[in-house]
Amino acid sequence: MKLNKLALAAMIGLSASGYSQAVEVELSITNLTHANYMTPRLAIAHDASVDAFEVGTEASTALAWLAEAGVIDDAQNADSSGQNFEAALGPVDTDNGSNTWHRFGGLLAPSSTLTYSFDTMDKPYFSLLTMLIPSNDAFAGLDSIMIPSEPGTYTYYLNAYDAGTELNDELNSTRTDITEEGGLPLGGYGVPGVAGAGAPNIAPSMGTGGTGVAVTVGFDENGDPLASPTEVVDGTDGPVHIHRNTLGDTSLTDGSSDLDSTVHRWLNPVARVTIVVPAS
Amino acid sequence: MKTTILKLSSLALLVALAAGCVDDGEQGPVGPQGVQGPAGQDGADGQDGADGADGQDGDDGNNGQSGNLAVYTVSITNLTYGQPFSPASVVAHEPGYYAFVPGEPASVALEMLAEGGNASGLIDEATQSVEFLDAQQGAGTPPRSIGSETTLVVPTLDTDNLRVSVLTMLVDTNDAFTGLNAMDISNMEVGDQKAFMTVSWDSGTEANLETADTMPGPAAGAAGGGGASAGFSAVRDDVVDAVHVHRGVVTNENVSDPSREGLATSVLNESDRWDNPTAKIVVTRTR
């Protein structure tokens, strides 16, 4: 009898510690903004050696790709190969030692929620990043939270950060009347202009004709005229910091911004993430 | 006779002793103990003693029925520069009731609070839910001030799994509100205090035109509108009919500036803006 009881106690002890982190957690994200879409989500379970972003430090090239163009891996954009998070972290959906990650695809519309299952593969920390569009280089981030081990529902509110890799000119990337200094078209990674392409049109949509917010068309960052009055400089405003929000304006054809001040602004938090750890 | 015999024998003893030790013979030996006499008679009873001192007071008795109720106070601090808060809906309840769900359309009761500052619908809605425990309507809270306390009373049995929902409108807006949504205040001991910083939500039920005839507060009133008639409207004309984090008010600042940043129809100015958090809500268990 005594032996039986001891054996039972030992078994209970084992099962109590058995639900550590080796579980598929249920991951939900809600877009809390008024009118900003969110690009495919990068979910990373990782150890202390991985830091997808850190306020006060310069953004990595991988973070710049995510924050300026919404790009995480080669499949989304071949030009990003070798520079994106896939290059930084390793192959998708495998145990890369220090991490495992997944791209949860599709745009997340304002006020909508998406839920996924994510295998954390025993990693202790979790990070999540997604770009806010339309914006120059704004992203919502969850920075290295400890993955809970007790079964339950855990809620986190995410702030919007500025990757600091691009000046917030708030210029529509589809415009052809202006170009980057040197003649390259606007938009995407490493060039001025907000990434808004791909987002469904919501009324009222983005304008054109803006003269630039954080930097003005035809002038450099110091206000000195450029060689061409239709070019925009590509500057930076890093390191990574809490985003100061977009300015926008109320004109679709002129004013300083191609964003709408009555539509495209936000205040923190911009997203809600819940993690459900199931009972073992 | 007996005594004589004894004396004789003692003499013989004495002689024997005298041979061993030099005895002067002056002191004789101690005689044997006499027979015990009969017992004496009982004495008379003594007089009664004086009265003793009073005993100590007994322990207090247990509390009556009211001892099974826990009491909480809720205070709201308005952290904004210029947005008055409407009278708040303050509700204690069990888990399961939500005044709103982010990303979902607002209830009509919430719409009444968020557009018109009227808390009665939310309190009615909460009262009818099975999770309901207690509700109060607080006073309004002016900008930059600590509001008056409201008091909630719930059965002690419910204190181990207790939620509080507090909602109040930012009245110089179309449909902004702030507060707590089913916040966990379980297992607070008497004297414990919990403080929460809250963000402002847009109920998603009204376009943010910021005009005098769509907002109930003093800013609209100063522009010839405001009041109840400018508050609640059943029409839902926001871009997305869902509760989301408020993006702030645009105001009419810089409306004629080349930036075109300002909103020409707005009766608000830069002093009506805010950033999160907009309120600090303190819950204290007092019994």
- Per-residue pLDDT of A136-147, as tens digits, reads 999 999 999 999
pLDDT of residue A93: 96
pLDDT of residue A41: 97
Q: Quote the CA–CA distance of A38 and A70 in Å, as a whole number.
A: 9
Q: Which amino acid is at A212?
A: G
Q: Quote the CA–CA distance of B10 and B8 in Å, as a whole number.
A: 5
The domain tally of chain A equals 1
Beta bridge partners of A30: A113, A272
Task: Report all structural domains of chain B as residue ranges with CATH numbers, in order of start.
Answer: 69-285 (2.60.40.2130)
User: What are the distances in angstroms from CA A11 to CA A5, A7, A14, A150?
Assistant: 10, 6, 5, 18
pLDDT at A203 over 50: no
Nearest CA in chain B to A205: B239
Beta bridge partners of A131: A139
- Whether residue A171 is contained in a domain is answered as no
pLDDT of residue B44: 74
pLDDT of residue A191: 83
Residues of A in contact with B260 (CB under 8 A): 249-251, 254-256
Q: What is the pLDDT of residues B57-77, one digit of tens each?
A: 767 655 555 569 999 999 999
Lowest model confidence (mean pLDDT) among A128-132, A157-161, B36-40, B207-211: B36-40
pLDDT of residue A11: 40
- Whether residue A151 is contained in a domain is answered as yes
Q: Work out the minimum CA distance from B229 to partner chain A, whole angstroms.
A: 24
Residues of B in contact with A31 (CB under 8 A): 103, 244
Using 50, 70 and 90 to split pLDDT, how confident is the model at B37? low
A272 contact B CB<8A: yes
pLDDT at A2 over 80: no
Q: State chain A's maximal CA–CA distance in angstroms.
A: 92
pLDDT at B5 over 80: no
pLDDT at A16 over 50: no
Which residue among A250, A256, A269 places its CB closest to the CB of B264? A250
A160 contact B CB<8A: no
B256 contact A CB<8A: no
Which residue among A30, A110, A255 places its CB closest to the CB of B259? A255
Average pLDDT, chain A: 89
pLDDT of residue B2: 47
How large is the average pLDDT for residues A70-77? 96
The complex's ipTM works out to: 0.80
A235 contact B CB<8A: no
Tokens 């392409």 sit on residue: A197
Q: Quote the CA–CA distance of B98 and B101 in Å, as a whole number.
A: 7
pLDDT of residue B199: 97
pLDDT of residue B67: 65
CATH code for the domain of A75: 2.60.40.2130
Q: Which residues contact A96 (CB under 8 A, 6 or more apart)?
A: A89, A90
Percentage of the residues of chain A whose pLDDT score is greater than 70: 89
Q: Quote the CA–CA distance of A170 and A208 in Å, as a whole number.
A: 10
- How many contacts (CB atoms, under 8 Å) link A and B? 94
Residue A96 CB-density burial (10 A; 0-12 exposed, 13-18 middle, 19+ buried): middle
- Whether residue A191 is contained in a domain is answered as no
How large is the average pLDDT for residues B89-99? 97
B101 contact A CB<8A: no
pLDDT of residue A7: 41
The pairing of strands A231-232 and A179-180 is parallel
pLDDT at B259 over 50: yes
Q: Which residue has the higher pLDDT, A263 or B8?
A: A263
B184 contact A CB<8A: no
Q: Work out the minimum CA distance from A204 to partner chain B, whole angstroms.
A: 9
pLDDT at B116 over 90: yes
Using 50, 70 and 90 to split pLDDT, how confident is the model at B16? very low
A133: containing domain: 2-164+264-277
Inter-chain CB proximity B103 and A32 less than 8 Å: yes
pLDDT of residue A30: 97
Using 50, 70 and 90 to split pLDDT, how confident is the model at A198? low
Q: What is the pLDDT of residues B174-203, one digit of tens each?
A: 999 999 999 999 999 999 999 999 999 999
Q: Which residues contact A98 (CB under 8 A, 6 or more apart)?
A: A46, A47, A49, A50
pLDDT at A17 over 90: no
How large is the average pLDDT for residues B135-160? 95
Q: Which residues contact B160 (CB under 8 A, 6 or more apart)?
A: B186, B187
Nearest CA in chain A to B201: A32
Interface mutation vs chain B, best among A170, A208, A249, most B CBs within 10 Å = A249
A226 contact B CB<8A: no
Average pLDDT, chain B: 87
Q: Quote the CA–CA distance of A262 and A264 in Å, as a whole number.
A: 6
Q: Quote the CA–CA distance of B239 and B257 in Å, as a whole number.
A: 26
Inter-chain CB proximity B259 and A266 less than 8 Å: no
Inter-chain CB proximity A111 and B242 less than 8 Å: yes
Q: Work out the minimum CA distance from A273 to partner chain B, whole angstroms.
A: 11
Q: What is the pLDDT of residues B149-163, one digit of tens each?
A: 999 999 999 999 999
Q: Which residue has the higher pLDDT, A124 or A191?
A: A124
pLDDT of residue B31: 59
Interface mutation vs chain B, best among A29, A30, A32, A258, most B CBs within 10 Å = A32
Strand blocks (E) in B199-259: 200-202, 244-245
User: What are the distances in angstroms from CA B239 to CA A110, B105, B118?
Assistant: 10, 12, 23
